[in-house]
Amino acid sequence: MAAHSLIMKKRGRWADHPELLQQRSRDGVIKAATLESLDMSSRLIYRRCLPGGPWRRLLPGIILLHAAQPTQDELVIAALLYAGPQARITGAEACRRHGMRAGELPVGQGIHVLVPHEHKILSTGFVTVERTRRLPNAWTRDEVPLAPPTRATTDACRRLRTVEPIGRLLIEAVQSGHSTPEALALELDEGTTRGTAIPRRVLAEWKELRSVAEARAKIISRRLASEPSHWNPEIRDSDGGYVGRPDAWWDDVALAWEIDSVDFHFYRDGYRRTLARNNQYAKAGIVVVQTLPSQLIKDPAGVLEELRAARRTAAARPRPAVRIAARAA
């Protein structure tokens, strides 16, 4: 019995029970320390990870129990094992796992993880480790702890250097319903300032678009032969039911002009609200022109032509029985 125990100790538990390797791993990714706890020497671990060997070393102290190219899931697991139990995946990988469209996300950023500030862990290989005093609560997807969508988006933006990919990423976060411009701006304000200049500027431009959109519309409308008769009136149908509150209104022909908030609202919830609003106008017989703030800047002549054409259409049909609601005294 003593001799058998000595042989087993020499070979290691893993040799007699190879299923222990998979049981102790996470989808085939395992810490070297865990292998050593199964009586495998560090020398043997190293030898099995050499070129031509059956395993692959992914990160310091992190082993893949096969030699093929690792999958993205295996890389994520390796990053989490390396960074520790409180790590959260953030950046582009977290955005992808939250369901944002891959085509709008930056590529080549590796795996970005957040760890508590007191953890002295260094970035290495494909893993960027960021120590933070603002470690967010994890959102778990498929057993992977993620930073919340807003944080993941801003973390990804901070690692980009040009406007176009940053703009696409911010728009995707909003369009997909995972964040809002206000939440993104707040996250940029509360977090580190590194790499935030461009996303701050992009968000400020979006805010400016909405704040001056109506003013631009009023200026442009002065070029029309028939300017709007009212701005922001409440329109009701013949039964007194609420129809809408267009930005501009031509009462003589029941023509509505809507300056939609920002271009990227035409998606999911924002798109559904726009459809519902326009369906209300159609039900009441109102002709509506829908304009994006960017059109007021880039193509004011085109906007004016749309308004002229819409007015001709509205004037050619009997005016529907809608009215402007009296304002409260």
pLDDT in tens, 171-191: 888 877 899 888 999 999 998
**Per-state percent for the chain, helix, strand, coil, to nearest 5:** 45, 15, 35
Tell me the per-residue pLDDT of 10-47, one tens digit each, with 9 for 90 and over: 456 666 667 888 889 999 999 999 999 988 999 999 99
Q: What is the C-alpha to C-alpha distance for residues 243 and 89, in angstroms, rounded to an integer?
A: 46
Please report where in the chains the tokens 């494909």 appear, as a residue: 126
Strands 248-250 and 230-231: what pairing?
A: antiparallel
pTM: 0.69
| 3-state DSSP assignment of residue 66 | coil
Position 208 confidence tier, pLDDT thresholds 50, 70, 90: low
pLDDT band at residue 114 using 50, 70 and 90 as cut-offs:
very high
What tens digit of pLDDT does each residue of 295-306 get? 887 899 999 999
Q: Which residues contact 116 (CB under 8 A, 6 or more apart)?
A: 86, 131, 132, 135
Phi, psi dihedrals of residue 157, rounded to the nearest 5°: -60, -40
Strands (E), 88-204: 88-90, 111-116, 127-132, 139-141, 144-146
Question: Measured between alpha carbons, how far is 88 from 236 in angstroms, rounded to an integer?
Answer: 51
Contacts of 154 (CB under 8 A, 6+ apart): 184, 187, 188, 191, 196, 199
Which tokens is 274 given?
Answer: 């726009």
Residues 6+ apart with CB under 8 A from 64: 28, 29, 55, 56, 57, 58, 70, 74, 78
Cα 259 from Cα 217, distance rounded (Å): 8
- Determine contact, residues 223/302, Cβ cutoff 8 Å: no
In the chain, the N- to C-terminal Cα span, in Å, equals 100
* C-alpha span between 2 and 8 (Å, rounded): 10
Q: Is the pLDDT of residue 266 over 80?
A: no
Q: Residue 196 has which token pair? A: 């935030």
Is pLDDT of 3 > 50?
A: no
Domain boundaries, the chain: 2-64, 72-195, 213-324
* Half-sphere exposure in the Cβ direction for 173 (13 Å, CA): 30
**CATH level 2 (architecture), domain 213-324:** 3-Layer(aba) Sandwich (3.40)
> Tens digit of pLDDT for each residue in 133-172?
999 999 999 999 999 999 999 999 999 999 889 988 998 8
